[in-house]
Amino acid sequence: MDLYIALIHHPVVNKKGDVICSAITNLDLHDIARAARTYGVKGYYVVNPLEDQKILAAQVIRHWTEGSGGRINPARREAFSIVRLTDTLEDAIERIGRETEMPVHILATSARKNDKSVTFQEMRDRLPQIGCALLLFGTAWGLTSELIDRADYLIEPVKGCGDYNHLSVRSAVTVVLDRLLSGNGH
Amino acid sequence: MDLYIALIHHPVVNKKGDVICSAITNLDLHDIARAARTYGVKGYYVVNPLEDQKILAAQVIRHWTEGSGGRINPARREAFSIVRLTDTLEDAIERIGRETEMPVHILATSARKNDKSVTFQEMRDRLPQIGCALLLFGTAWGLTSELIDRADYLIEPVKGCGDYNHLSVRSAVTVVLDRLLSGNGH
C-alpha cells in the first residue's frame, strides 16, 4: 500500500471560519518529514500556492537534500528526500496518480463526523486493500468543509484523556501515522 | 494514576556521546505542553540548570499563562498552566513527591534495551497500579546511560515501519503518551 500525506495551507479556515492561506512553518517541514519517513510514507506534499512561501520552503528543502545540512545530517536528508511542494491539492493528486498509476483515495482527519467516518482500527484494517491513499492534514483551524466532504474516508478525531484536545499539527500527524501504520505498540 | 513528564536538557549526550546541556526550544514548550494536557499529564517539567535559558523559558510561559497570549488563546493558556521549570531532575522528583505524597517511579524511553525493558502494552497495563510516575525524555542525542540506568522502567523504542527512526522529541513525546494513555485508537 502506497500512503502519501499532504499538509494543506490553502484552503484552510481561520478561527472565525474564513477560508485563508496559512504560512509554511519551518518545523512543520522537519518534524512531519521525519515522522513520514519513520512510518514509510512515500511522499509528503506541502500544498501552498503563494510564490514567496514556495521559494522559502524550496530553500529549506534544498539545504537538507543537496546542501551542507544533508552532508552533516544524512538522516535529515533522507527525511527531506520525500518532501514535495505543490500549488494545489489537485496537483498533488495528479502527481501521485502518475507516479503510482493507481486511483488515489483521499483520507481526511477532522473533529467533525459524517457518514464516511471510520475508526482508526477500521482504517488500519482497510488500508492494505487500498492501493494508494493520500492523507490530508489542515494547518491553522483545519481543513475546509468542502475538502472534508470530498474525502473518501473521514478518520475519527484523536482522543486523548478528557475533553481537551489541542495537539499541534506536527503531533497530530505523528499520532495518526502511528495508529495507522506502526510496527509495534498497538 | 498521576503521570508527569520531564524534558531533560542536562544531562544529555551530543552526537559524539559527550555529556552536554542543550538549549530550550520554543516549540518544545508549546507542542509538548499541548500533548501533555491532551493526555491528562499532571505536570510537564522542563529541566535546565542554565540561568539565561530559564529566564527565556519563564518569559514564554508567562506570556501564555498571565500575558496577552493566554487571553487571546485560552486553550494554549491551559496547556502552559502545567509547565514547570527546574534546575535538575532531582528538583523535579522532589516537587512531584511533595505534591502527590507518593513515591515517584521513573520511566525512561531509549533505543537501548536493558533488563528493565518493557513493551508499551506492558507499561500501559501496569500504569494503573503505579500511583505516581515521571516519564523522561531527552533532548539532543538523548538521555545519558546513567539516567537510563536509574529509571525503574525502560520503555521499548517506538518502531515505525522499517529501520529509519528519527522522530523529533515533540513527535516522540506525543506517540509515547498516545500509546500509554489514549482513550481511543488502540
Per-residue pLDDT tens over the stretch A35-72: 999 999 999 999 999 999 999 999 999 999 999 999 99
Q: Which three cell numbers stand for residue A144?
A: 475546509
Given this model, what pLDDT does residue A36 score? 98
Choose the mutation target among B44, B117, B171 for the interface with A, i.e. most A CBs under 10 Å. Answer: B171
Residue in chain A closest to B72 (alpha carbons) equals A15
Domain count, chain B: 1
Mean pLDDT to the nearest integer, A94-123? 91
Q: What is the pLDDT of residue B13?
A: 96
Question: What distance in Å separates the CA atoms of residue B135 and residue B137, rounded to the nearest whole number?
Answer: 7
Q: Provide the ipTM.
A: 0.95
Name residue, grid cell 555529556: B19
B44 strand-pairing partners: B5, B83
Sign of CA dihedral B67, B71, B76, B77: positive
**pTM for the whole structure:** 0.96
Residue range of the domain that includes B47? 2-181
Residues of chain A whose beta carbon is less than 8 angstroms from a beta carbon of chain B are 27, 30-31, 34-35, 37-40, 75-76, 78-79, 119-121, 156, 158-162, 164-168, 170-171, 174-175, 177-179, 181-186
Cβ–Cβ below 8 Å for A35 and B76: no
Q: Where would I find the H helices in chain B?
A: 26-38, 51-65, 68-72, 74-80, 89-100, 120-126, 145-150, 169-181
- Count of CB contacts below 8 A, A vs B? 133
**Predicted local distance difference test score (pLDDT) of residue A12:** 97
Provide the H-helix boundaries in chain A. 26-38, 51-65, 68-72, 74-80, 89-100, 120-126, 145-150, 169-181
> What does the pLDDT average to over B43-72?
97
As a whole number, mean pLDDT of residues A150-177 equals 94
CA gyration radius, chain A: 16
Q: Which of B30, B40, B183 sits opposite A168 (nearest CB)?
A: B30
Judge whether residue B185 has pLDDT over 80.
Answer: no
Cα A25 from Cα B12, distance rounded (Å): 27
pLDDT at B186: 54
Model pLDDT for residues B103-145, shown as the tens digit of each residue: 999 999 876 777 788 999 999 999 999 999 999 999 999 999 9
Q: How far is A41 from chain B (nearest CA, A)?
A: 9
Nearest to B181 by CA among B39, B1, B33, B28: B39
What band does A185 get if pLDDT is binned at 50, 70 and 90?
A: low
- pLDDT score for A186: 53
> Which residues on B lie below 8 Å from A123 (Cβ)?
none
| Residue B141 domain flag | yes
Average pLDDT value for residue range A122-139? 96
Say if A85 falls within a structural domain: yes
At residue B79's C-alpha, the angle toward residues B78 and B80, to 5°, is 95
Asked whether residue A186 is domain-assigned, the answer is no
Q: Do A184 and B119 touch (CB under 8 A)?
A: yes
Q: What is the mean pLDDT of residues B55-66?
A: 97
Q: Which of A65-69, A157-161, B53-57 has the lowest mean pLDDT?
A: A157-161
Averaged pLDDT score across all residues of chain B:
95
Using a CB-CB distance cutoff of 8 angstroms, which residues of chain A are in contact with residue B166?
34, 37-38, 75-76, 79
Query: Would you state the pLDDT for residue A115?
Result: 79
Residue B186 domain flag? no
Contact B174 A166 (CB under 8 A): no
CA distance B101 to B84: 18
A62: CATH: 3.40.1280.10
For residue B38, the chain A residues in CB contact (below 8 A) are 160-161, 164-167
Average pLDDT over chain A reads 95
B174 → chain A, closest CA residue: A171
Q: Is the pLDDT of residue A76 over 80?
A: yes
Is B134 within 8 Å of B5 (Cβ atoms)? yes
Who among B39, B40, B159 is closest to A184 (CB)? Answer: B159
